[in-house]
Amino acid sequence: MPELRKDPIIGRWVIISTERARRPSSFSSVGKRTSATMCPFCPGHEDNTPPEIIAYRPPGTEPNQPGWKLRVIPNKYPALIVEGGLNREPKGLYDKMHGIGAHEVIIETADHARDMVHMSVEEVRDILWVYRERMIDLERDGRLKYILLFKNHGEAAGASLEHSHSQLIAMPIIPKRVAEEIEGAKAYYDYKERCIYCDIVRQELADGERIVADCDAFLVVQPFAPRFPFETWLIPKSHQSSYIDMSDSEYVTLAGCLKETLLRLKLALNDPPFNYIVHTRPVSKDYQDFYHWHIEIIPKLTKIAGFEWGSGFYINPTAPEQAAEFLRKIDVHVVPEKVGPEAADRD
Amino acid sequence: MPELRKDPIIGRWVIISTERARRPSSFSSVGKRTSATMCPFCPGHEDNTPPEIIAYRPPGTEPNQPGWKLRVIPNKYPALIVEGGLNREPKGLYDKMHGIGAHEVIIETADHARDMVHMSVEEVRDILWVYRERMIDLERDGRLKYILLFKNHGEAAGASLEHSHSQLIAMPIIPKRVAEEIEGAKAYYDYKERCIYCDIVRQELADGERIVADCDAFLVVQPFAPRFPFETWLIPKSHQSSYIDMSDSEYVTLAGCLKETLLRLKLALNDPPFNYIVHTRPVSKDYQDFYHWHIEIIPKLTKIAGFEWGSGFYINPTAPEQAAEFLRKIDVHVVPEKVGPEAADRD
């Protein structure tokens, strides 16, 4: 049973999940890349994964059989597990509870060698749409407080399999970084009666120099105080606290915007490893007025010394204004070739 | 001029230091290891570094000439610079100031191939002693609020040169992680009228299962809620808010304790890359009652996905109780051989 434990000083919860250590990639300093023939996420290998939770597949195809376009499965090595009560209890001055929650994998495409920048806008929209479907479903579970959606791309960014996928972790606590955003946004709202993210959008549109792309309902910017070179935020221009609250057409716009942004980063930085994280409000609607959902994209370009996690002190060698200018100039009409053995087999 | 910028939402300051991008190692995904003949930290290459601030050297040897045992120099590519005023100013809803401060390198030994685990306790004590000397000197500068001392060991932990060294950054802000510790420790103190770190030491001594080593005045433990496998804390047993407040003999005890702890980690984990960070109180004495200095050692064993920095949510596959047991069992009398071309030349 994984365990959630709270640091008594700074209040951060962590998961101690010894089951995860059984993953084939754990602790190996050099990971192995799987080919499509070995990949558990490829069609024909459905029995290598737990049974699917949901899949987008044409009528007439069977669950857990090939034919699907997109597939959501429980993580085979889950950080949190679904069954059980929270059993929160003290241990001297410490706090712990059972590691209850959900850990799912969104296999974004059947094509081993296809990533988001090669997909059609409709394919990306389907991925964003299934994020929403899973969030809505999991928000019904009264034990859960937060649903964290993220993507690791490239081995150096923590992706243990190269087949394009995202992950969802639904948890009974609010992760520290989101809690900090909530606290800061609430303090600003209490003082100004305005959402700080809405004010940031306003100022970024006025300043202009940190804008990467203006995609209608969404703004793509380099933040004013980025921790990392080319750290990129994608923010809805009008106030919206949750990722699940968008209109149907907004998911299409977001799909085009996200695809274009990832393409800019890929072309500008030679396909960098990256992570993106959807920052949305917690399950509770209490945060509606002052929290504003957004996506943070973090390319892994520099060696981040542990001292930076350890101190919370970041030295960034690239000014966001320069990074934004560089990304704006990328010609996004040049889509790079697909790679890998399967590229030729697919349309 | 480097610039300090504040994230308006969560209040974290970062340094935008474009000068740092000129470092030879920036953005190279595969770094090169220097041999002793090329190393700017080796004796005979003193003119490759800025002039020394202080050195421990025998009488009769000249500054910036060979003969030294330990040498402190300004970082050639400083994240912060010494000259100038802070010029704090708003920029719309953002805040920035000049990147004023100091960035120094402590070259811990003249021997290119010698690291802390090979040194005598007296040699390690000298390193700890010079940390103190530099802190006391820099605390006199009224512009500075915090002095961050850290060590990156191994390329994967951010060390761009393998010659054993530590770094010191003195800055006009309190880094976020320390600010969080202060806030948490103060809340506990306000409620309990006790230092939370003192209570942690008490509970760890009682529980026993997370103790790695008990070194007289210092306790080495795996924390209850570690972010990373084998994250290790070294805490003074009695209340002491600042690293500079120790008695002379305590620096000797600490030297032995730190050396032994690093040796345990090296033997247990096959010389892992690691970072250590000295967490001490800010320059101001306001924090004296409730802050408690300590050293955090973070071995880099797992691939940390950016999503973990991005969410503040950590999944740790190793229970601290298991890690502590494993480290306790290491026979620290087996000191590994020195490595490298110079090993045979030195005693």
Q: Which residue did the predictor score with more confidence, B161 or A136?
A: A136
* Residue in A91, A158, A313 nearest the CB of B176: A313
Q: A187 burial class (0-12, 13-18, 19+ CB within 10 angstroms)?
A: middle
Please tell me the pTM assigned to this model: 0.92
Does any CB of chain A come closer than 8 Å to the CB of residue B24? no
Q: What is the pLDDT of residue B338?
A: 56
The yes-or-no verdict on residue A32 having pLDDT over 60 is no
**HSE toward the beta carbon, residue B312, CA cutoff 13 A:** 22
Mean pLDDT within A1-10:
95
Q: Beta strand pairing status for B314-316 and A13-16?
A: parallel
Query: Residue A313 has what pLDDT?
Result: 87
DSSP A175-203: -HHHHHHHHHHHHHHHHHSS-HHHHHHHH
- Nearest chain A alpha carbon to B309: A309
Low-confidence ranges of chain B (pLDDT < 50): 25-32, 340-347
| Predicted pLDDT at B1 | 87
Q: What are the structure tokens assigned to B197, written together?
A: 């770190």
Q: Does B32 touch chain A (CB under 8 A)?
A: no
Asked if A324 contacts A209 with a C-beta cutoff of 8 angstroms, the reply is yes
Residues of B in contact with A200 (CB under 8 A): 8-9, 93
Residue A204 and residue A225 in contact, taking contact as beta carbons nearer than 8 Å: no
Tell me how far apart the alpha carbons of residues B230 and B320 are, in angstroms, rounded to a whole number. Answer: 7
Q: Evaluate whether residue B247 is within a structural domain.
A: yes
Contact (CB<8Å) B178/A312: yes
A-contacting residues of B 257-296, CB under 8 Å?
Answer: 274-275, 277, 296
Q: What is the pLDDT of residues B76-134, one digit of tens each?
A: 989 999 999 999 999 999 999 999 999 999 999 999 999 999 999 999 999 999 999 99
Average pLDDT over residues A237-262: 97
Domain annotation covers residue B165: yes
Contacts of A303 in chain B (CB under 8 A): 25, 31, 155-156, 158
Listed in order, strand segments (DSSP E) in A222-320 are 232-236, 274-279, 294-299, 314-316
Task: Name the A residues in 121-140 with CB < 8 Å from any B CB.
Answer: none
- Determine which one of A112, A163, A165, A279 is catalytic: A165
Strand ranges, E, within chain A: 3-6, 13-16, 54-56, 70-74, 89-91, 94-98, 102-107, 146-153, 165-171, 211-215, 218-221, 232-236, 274-279, 294-299, 314-316
Is some CB atom of chain A closer than 8 A to the CB atom of B298? yes
* 8 Å CB contact of B5 and A224: yes
Residue B296 within a domain? yes
What is the rounded distance in angstroms from the CA atom of residue A178 to the CA atom of residue B235? 29
The β-bridge relationship of strands B13-16 and A314-316 is parallel
Mean pLDDT confidence for A223-246: 97
Amino acid B87 reads N
Binary contact (A311, B7; C-beta < 8 A) = no
Residues for chain A: how many in total?
A: 347
Say which range, A109-123, A325-339, B35-49, B60-74, has the weakest mean pLDDT: A325-339
Q: Within a domain: residue B24?
A: no
Number of domains in chain A: 1
CB-based contact B196 A93, cutoff 8 Å: yes
CATH number of residue A206's parent domain: 3.30.428.10
Given CB atoms, is A14 within the 8 Å cutoff of chain B?
yes
Distance between A98 CA and the closest CA of chain B, angstroms: 14
Q: Provide the pLDDT confidence category of residue A29 given band limits of 50, 70 and 90.
A: very low
A210 vs B: CB within 8 A? no
To the nearest 10°, report the CA torsion of B235, B241, B244, B250.
-40
Structure tokens that stand for B279 in this block: 């967490």
Nearest-angstrom CA–CA distance, B222 and B279: 16
The whole-number pLDDT of residue B120 equals: 96
Residues on chain A touching B148 (C-beta within 8 angstroms): 307, 311, 313
- Taking only the tens place, the pLDDT of each residue in A282-309 is 999 899 999 999 999 999 987 766 678 7
Domain-embedded: residue B118: yes
Which residue, chain included where needed, has tokens 């730190």? B258
What's residue A305's pLDDT? 66
Supply A71's token pair.
Answer: 């597939």
Interface check for A154 against chain B (CB to CB < 8 A): the answer is no
Contact yes or no for A152 and B307 at CB 8 A: yes
* Nearest chain B residue to A155, by CA: B303
Residue B276 located in a structural domain: yes
Out of A9, A196, A275, the one facing B185 most closely (by C-beta) is A9
Quote the domain boundaries for residue B289. Answer: 31-76+101-331
Is B165 a known active-site residue? yes
Residue A126 pLDDT = 98
Chain B residue numbers touching A277 (CB-CB < 8 A): 306-307, 310-311
Lowest model confidence (mean pLDDT) among A19-28, A171-180, A248-257, B297-306: A19-28
CA closest to B195 among chain A residues: A9
Contact status of B11 with chain A (Cβ, < 8 Å): yes
Q: For residue A7, give both structure tokens.
A: 């640091």
Number of Cβ pairs < 8 A linking chain A and chain B: 272
Nearest to B236 by CA among B191, B276, B279, B207: B279
